[in-house]
Structure 1
Amino acid sequence: MPQADFPYASLEEQAAGPAGMRLAVSIFADREQVRDQIRDDTMAAGMALRECGPVAALFDGEARPIGEVVLVDCPRADAPVLAALSRLDLRVHSAAHLIVSTSIEALDDVFACCDQSDAQILVDPSRADRIIALGRALTRFSNLRLRELSEEDRVTLLRLIEQVGEIAQRLDQFGVGHAAIFGEGKAFRVESPGSDFAAQGGKGSKRLASGVSPTLPDARTIRRIIRNRHARTRFFDGALFADPAWDILLDLTAARIESVRVSVTSLCIASGVPPTTALRWIGQMIQAGLLHRNEDDADRRRAFIALTDRAAHMMARYFAEVGRSTAKLT
């Protein structure tokens, strides 16, 4: 099995900006305990604190300098908060990285506000979730000495993050401090996931022998597949079958056939994994060109997720291939 190597920078190097200075962080949270936790964890990561205050600071008074990493905690998103998030999303578009934690009830509104900055959105996160998000933010800065990642490497890294997240959750449950999660090391190696996300016509892709462009099957067929997949959880631990990318693709394929729009909250539920995990996969699949977001023309506060035409064609080819293989067995 091929291995993927990701050079590891020390914590101080990760938290240093292009000029060698520590990255600055701005924290906006109304819950004092959450605000203190985020502050402690960013300091443990070697970052410099620029501002730490309530969410109201985002829309009170004149605009102020913000850090290279901005964390906002808004479990309830009223009109002023959403307006402030929209402005912040535009402001950090290329100059900073935004991490927003919210609730499942406010997710659709928050997601719609964050359409420019490639923000990380966390849903009802634990402390470990925030630490993992902070680590992902650090890797986005140019001085981390990470080589340009291929499509396969990005999926590998995403899966590694999920595995580290599970470990961090367990450490949280056992009362292990954040220092253990931010421990230093020299390198890590993980097995490549193969060509799960291979582009059409690329490695691992085969053309249909007939040369005829296939069409998607009846939506009832796909809904039946989804129901059968969910039925497994009645007899086995659902974690055994977690495959969010495929569940997302199946749900959106059925929705495309039915001409139904899918909200990000609905898609998170369909993925079968926690919303924060689902959002990471949705973001990765958007970057991979499999999904795209559609703004609601009637309500700019809402956004929907859909398959790209390329992904729909790939799904059609998959079902055509499965149909041909099944026919050979009968």
Structure 2
Amino acid sequence: MHVSDSNGELTFKRTPKGCTVLVVDDDPICLDEYRDTIVNLGYDVVCAGNASEALKKISDSPDIGIVLTDLEMPSMNGISLLSEIAERFKPNRPIVTLVVTAYSSLEVATMAMQSQATDLLSKPVSMDDLATALRRATASHSALANLFQIMALTKRLDPQVSQGNVDKDARPTHEDLQGFIRLLLKYQHNKSKYFDPAVLSGPSWEILLDLAEASLRGEPVPASSASATTLVPLTTALRHVNHLVEAGLVKRWTDPTDKRRTLLELEPEAQAAMQRYLENAWKLRAQDG
């Protein structure tokens, strides 16, 4: 994901939601089992037999966004690997880390969380548990990718930020927070001018924003990817997708190249309304400086 200037215009290329999963384990049999299971779940997968190899792969491949690592490995264990990832990569790109271990305990869980792992799985890992963990990781990765995109945009548009003149450790004053709250309320009120508030509960609005971003790229979005944008269970997200389809805001059809996949895009009227909303919200941001 990056922000670039093409012919004087701001353009975006974001990290794909279908990010690659890196599996790290020194046991070749376990490595093969994880790879086969994750491939069957529909993810792109690469493997590493040790922490050093994993770090090299992360450095070389910006598509790696989820790392699933065993805890007990020679030379450098899983906790040390997580610490390296947190120090070297997480400040600059969206990466979500998961730990698998046969020695689950409160101490292990504490160390994993301190090393910024988002999930701890106990061996043997069932396909259902792995699917659930990867679904949560995908949603977290999507949220992080959006955050990095916002940070890149802010840096691009705000000279003070781009020149490094902002104190990153400075806390906002009460006046700063009051102004920010007023701006959030303006965004909320502005949204109701273009969409029925009853339709736009949290997950539905997140799905609409994701589809709006995709429409600017001229691409449909798989229903599973749009659902992963939200931080709710997949079944709940899909109910919101159904609601948006029934409300006439979203078009849904089966991918002709892959009958297992359902694609989504905004209906023309919803796309036009979202365009007007975003342009208006952009002006509000500019007015509030």
Q: What band does the TM-score fall into relative to the shorter chain?
A: 0.3 to 0.5
Q: TM-score, normalised by structure 1?
A: 0.34
Relative contact order: is structure 1 or structure 2 higher (C-alpha 8 Å, sep ≥ 6)?
A: 1
Q: TM-score, normalised by structure 2?
A: 0.38
